[in-house]
Amino acid sequence: MPDVFSALANPVRRQILAALRDGPRAVNDLASMFELGRPAVSEHLQVLRKAQLVREEPRGQQRFYHLEAVPLAEVDAWLHPFERYWRARMRDLGSVLDDLAADDAPAPTAASARPTTDIGKNTTA
C-alpha cells in the first residue's frame, strides 16, 4: 500500500484518477486535460500503473488507461477507522462551538424582558 499512498500524494495523479472514473482514456486525451506534455503525463501514468491504480490497454497506435478500483478500496478500508475518529472530533467541536455561541448570546435586557401587552395601544399621553 505504500506505493498507492505515494501515487496519491501528487495532485496531478489524483486528477488523472478522477478523469478515469468516467471510463478509459487515451494518453493524448489525458495530456490535453492538463498543462503538461504527453511525456509528463506518461510518467504520472507509469507511477499509477506501478501502484496498480490504472491498467494499460494497447489499441493499435494508442494506449488507453482504465481505473483500477481495488487498491482504492483497500485505502478506503484502511482509512475507515480514521473517519470514525474524525467524525467524533467534529461532533465534539460542534458541541464546543454551540456552547460558545450560547455563552456569546446577548442577555435579555429590561426592555426586551418587559411584557408585550401594550402592542397596538397608543402609549403616548
For the chain, how many residues are written?
125
Whole-angstrom distance, CA of residue 110 vs CA of residue 71: 64
pTM for this model (two decimals)? 0.65
CA torsion through residues 86, 88, 89, 91, sign: positive
Q: What is the pLDDT of residue 79?
A: 87
Helix axis angle for 11-20 and 38-50, nearest 10°, is 80
52 falls within a domain: yes
What is the tens place of the pLDDT at every residue in 82-105?
888 888 888 888 888 888 888 876
Whole-angstrom distance, CA of residue 28 vs CA of residue 64: 9
What is the tens place of the pLDDT at every residue in 61-86?
999 999 998 898 898 888 888 888 88
124 falls within a domain: no
Q: What is the pLDDT of residue 84?
A: 84
The number of folded domains in the chain is: 2
Whole-angstrom distance, CA of residue 94 vs CA of residue 1: 34
Domain end residue (candidates: 23, 52, 68): 68
Backbone φ and ψ of 86, nearest 5°:
-70, -35
Any idea what the Cα angle at residue 34 is, between residues 11 and 54, rounded to 5°? 60
80 falls within a domain: yes
Q: Mark whether 44 and 78 lie in a shared domain.
A: no
Domain extent for 91: 71-102
CB atoms within 10 A of CB 112: 9
